[in-house]
């Protein structure tokens, strides 16, 4: 029972990380139909930026965190502006290939600057953050994950439901020509979706870095798990991305705990294949509203 609960806690918190990172991926896909193959590298960029600011420049943690948020947000804008925007109007496949190239370029840059070793953040999470629930103890990193995960999910929930920019973003995903006809700045929406994708990917990259250490190859590989997550949840569903993330997180930890650790790494991709065969739009993909 104790073991089960421990796995449950670990699974959900890992799942939150996947959800958060998938949120960024889905956002880009929803607004511009682009599959971002550089997604894994976005995690790594966030994690390394935080490393540089917090551990090397030794700035206070809260400030490093804030600077990483701002920094990745701006990076998202810059990347969209310089690389994606010139391809607006071109075939989708060209844009997707571009993201593949971007990913390789980012990875190369990170390797060049930080090398291929495993880095570590200085310890900063207070021990007091951990929770002792009697039967299970939730380590502080998991508590931090829950807090960050829930905070961001609520934040984006509110952003999309109530803010004007959030509603404009959804309108572009829904009917692009209608959005254009009303003067929605569609290119700005694309840029914003990249900026948000950079931020949420950075968040999950940082927390994964706290758990596993920071390594370019590992982080970009974990980033690839966004594919099983979004295929499971439905490429165009934000709610699906969140649930998909949690399901994959749980599956991984339970497979690792009860079956075998080597199976753990491949279980998400087994799920991916099964889902593609039985339910290609994912569990929560948008069902077209039919006119009656």
As to burial, measured by CB atoms within 10 angstroms (0-12 exposed, 13-18 middle, 19+ buried), residue 93 is exposed
The H-or-E segment that residue 132 falls in is: strand 131-132
Enter the tokens of residue 81: 């502006």
Query: Are the C-beta atoms of 201 and 47 separated by less than 8 Å?
Result: no
Work out whether 206 is an interface residue with another protein (CB under 8 A). Answer: no
Query: Are the C-beta atoms of 72 and 49 separated by less than 8 Å?
Result: yes
How far is it, in rounded angstroms, from Cα 147 to Cα 16?
Answer: 10
Instruction: Tell which one of 29, 190, 194, 198 touches another protein (CB under 8 A).
Output: 190
Instruction: Tell which one of 97, 154, 155, 180 touches another protein (CB under 8 A).
Output: 180
Binding part of the chain for another protein, among 111-119, 173-181, 217-225, 259-267 by CB under 8 A, reads 173-181
Measured from the CB atom, the residue of 122 and 161 that comes closer to another protein is 161
Query: Are the C-beta atoms of 210 and 141 separated by less than 8 Å?
Result: yes
| Closest residue by Cα to residue 267 from 278, 279, 257 | 257
Least Å distance, CB 288 to another protein, is 8
How far is it, in rounded angstroms, from Cα 67 to Cα 179?
Answer: 33
Instruction: Tell which one of 167, 270, 273, 274 touches another protein (CB under 8 A).
Output: 167
Instruction: Tell which one of 16, 25, 156, 168 touches another protein (CB under 8 A).
Output: 168
Instruction: Tell which one of 82, 89, 93, 116 touches another protein (CB under 8 A).
Output: 89
Least Å distance, CB 81 to another protein, is 14
Work out whether 176 is an interface residue with another protein (CB under 8 A). Answer: yes
Measured from the CB atom, the residue of 218 and 236 that comes closer to another protein is 236
Helices (H), 51-126: 61-79, 92-114
Enter the tokens of residue 16: 């939150």
Query: Are the C-beta atoms of 159 and 165 separated by less than 8 Å?
Result: yes
Query: Are the C-beta atoms of 36 and 197 separated by less than 8 Å?
Result: yes
DSSP, collapsed to helix, strand or coil, labels residue 138 as: strand
Work out whether 165 is an interface residue with another protein (CB under 8 A). Answer: yes
Instruction: Tell which one of 164, 261, 262, 277 touches another protein (CB under 8 A).
Output: 164
Work out whether 170 is an interface residue with another protein (CB under 8 A). Answer: yes
Q: Which of residues 23-42 bind another protein (CB under 8 A)?
A: 32-34
Instruction: Tell which one of 183, 261, 262, 278 touches another protein (CB under 8 A).
Output: 183
Work out whether 79 is an interface residue with another protein (CB under 8 A). Answer: no
Which parts of this chain interact with another protein (CB under 8 A)?
32-34, 87-92, 95, 164-165, 167-168, 170-171, 174-186, 190, 286, 289
């Amino acid at each position: 029972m104790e073991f089960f609960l421990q796995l449950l806690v670990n699974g959900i918190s890992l799942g939150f990380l996947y959800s958060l990172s998938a949120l960024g991926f889905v956002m880009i896909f929803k607004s511009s139909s682009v599959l971002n193959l550089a997604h894994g590298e976005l995690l790594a960029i966030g994690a390394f930026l935080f490393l540089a600011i917090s551990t090397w420049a030794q700035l206070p943690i809260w400030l490093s965190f804030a600077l990483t948020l701002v920094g990745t947000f701006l990076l998202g804008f810059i990347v969209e502006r310089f690389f994606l925007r010139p391809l607006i109007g071109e075939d989708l496949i060209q844009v997707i290939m571009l993201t593949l190239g971007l990913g390789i370029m980012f990875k190369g840059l990170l390797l060049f600057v930080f090398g291929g070793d495993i880095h570590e953040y200085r310890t900063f999470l207070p021990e007091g953050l951990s929770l002792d629930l009697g039967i299970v103890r939730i380590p502080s990193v998991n508590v931090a994950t829950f807090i960050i995960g829930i905070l961001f999910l609520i934040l984006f929930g509110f952003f999309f439901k109530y803010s004007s920019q959030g509603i404009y973003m959804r309108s572009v995903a829904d009917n692009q020509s209608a959005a254009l006809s009303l003067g929605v700045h569609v290119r700005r929406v694309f840029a914003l979706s990249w900026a948000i994708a950079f931020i949420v990917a950075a968040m999950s990259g940082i927390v994964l870095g706290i758990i596993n250490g920071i390594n370019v190859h590992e982080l970009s590989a974990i980033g690839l798990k966004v594919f099983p997550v979004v295929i499971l949840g439905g490429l165009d569903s934000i709610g699906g991305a969140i649930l998909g993330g949690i399901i994959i997180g749980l599956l991984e930890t339970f497979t690792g705990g009860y079956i075998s650790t080597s199976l753990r790494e491949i279980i998400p991709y087994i799920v991916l294949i099964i889902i593609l065969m039985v339910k290609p739009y994912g569990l929560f993909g948008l069902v077209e509203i039919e006119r009656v």
